Amino acid sequence: MGGAVGGLGLRRDDEGLALVGDGMVLRADFMRLLPRLRPDRLGRELLVRAARVRGVEAPTAVDATAGLGEDSLLLAAAGFTVTMFEKDPVIAALLRDALERAASDPQLAGVAARMTLVEGDSVAGLRELDFSPDVVFLDPMFPERTKSAAVKKKFQLLHHLERPCDNEEELLDAALAARPRKIVIKRPPKGPWLAGAKPSHSIAGKAVRYDVIVPSPSSR
């Protein structure tokens, strides 16, 4: 498979589909996350802690900004059935390829079976859901603060295709319209609240903060 967007191209090799450009190769790779999916580590993941819904046997989540699907993979491994929205067709192709590879891997097949990709805009999709998810997860993207030049370059490849969210209010309103039990928002550790909305509580680490908004029962 080939294609080019802004000097970038899609290439398929023995390891699957990849985005190539500027001397870099970027692919969605769930295998490298396997150590984080071990039961003794998964429960300590900040996202899993933030998204946890008590008293629900089969929780559901919507990842409104799926990207390469790594956050969705953590949620699915934690027992969520995850609907992922990704509006950029190139990123969606990379994610779909990763899901297909995961489905044929014994270590990942069960987790991948709980992940469904929808190619399209989540702002519209959240308002058209035929169910109320337990969790809506929002990662409106923020500049990577890292000392690794290689990691920075890889995120630059993604940013060629998809820019950070430019309408925070619209995204948050759509998440609220889905009537979830909670909204989990990924932010920089010292970054502002999304759309200025004060969270019910936050779980913070050194590299990331998860703000949790629990809508009032009357709004659900």
The answer to the question of residue 29 being in a domain is no
Q: Which SS3 state, helix, strand or coil, does residue 76 take?
A: helix
Structure tokens of 208? 């990331």
Structure tokens of 50? 């933030």
Under DSSP, the state recorded for 114 is: T
C-alpha count within 13 angstroms, C-beta hemisphere, residue 115: 33
The answer to the question of residue 13 being in a domain is no
Residue 201 CB partners (closer than 8 Å, separation 6+): 212
Structure tokens of 213? 């908004």
Per-residue pLDDT band for 25 (boundaries 50, 70, 90) equals confident
Q: Is 199 or 166 the better-scoring residue by pLDDT?
A: 199
Mean pLDDT of the residues in the chain? 88
Per-residue pLDDT band for 51 (boundaries 50, 70, 90) equals very high
The answer to the question of residue 80 being in a domain is yes
Residue 145 has pLDDT above 70, yes or no: no
- Model pLDDT, residue 2: 44
Closest CA to 138 of 176, 106, 109, 104: 176
Closest CA to 111 of 52, 30, 50: 30
Residue type, 164: P
* Alpha-carbon span 110 to 169, nearest angstrom: 35
3-state helix, strand, coil in the chain (%, to 5): 35, 25, 40
Mean pLDDT of the 73-96 span: 96
The answer to the question of residue 111 being in a domain is yes
Structure tokens of 206? 């050194």
Mean pLDDT of the 116-135 span: 96
Per-residue pLDDT band for 160 (boundaries 50, 70, 90) equals low
The answer to the question of residue 186 being in a domain is yes
Please check whether residue 211 is in contact with residue 184, taking contact to mean a CB–CB distance below 8 angstroms.
yes
Residue 144 has pLDDT above 50, yes or no: no
* Alpha-carbon span 3 to 101, nearest angstrom: 21
Residue-wise pLDDT for 189-214, tens only, equals 999 999 999 999 999 999 999 999 99
pTM of the model: 0.88
The answer to the question of residue 129 being in a domain is yes
**CATH classification of the domain holding 102:** 3.40.50.150
Residue type, 161: L
Task: Name the phi and psi angles at 30, rounded to 5.
Answer: -75, -25
The answer to the question of residue 106 being in a domain is yes
The answer to the question of residue 18 being in a domain is no
- Model pLDDT, residue 153: 56
Per-residue pLDDT band for 22 (boundaries 50, 70, 90) equals confident
Domain count, the chain: 1
Residue type, 206: K
Residue 69 has pLDDT above 50, yes or no: yes
Give alpha helix (H) positions in the chain. Answer: 39-42, 46-51, 70-77, 89-103, 109-112, 122-127, 149-161, 168-177
Per-residue pLDDT band for 4 (boundaries 50, 70, 90) equals very low
* Alpha-carbon span 218 to 14, nearest angstrom: 52
Domain that holds residue 183: 35-219
Q: Is 20 or 97 the better-scoring residue by pLDDT?
A: 97
Q: Is 166 or 90 the better-scoring residue by pLDDT?
A: 90
- Model pLDDT, residue 199: 98
Residue 61 has pLDDT above 60, yes or no: yes
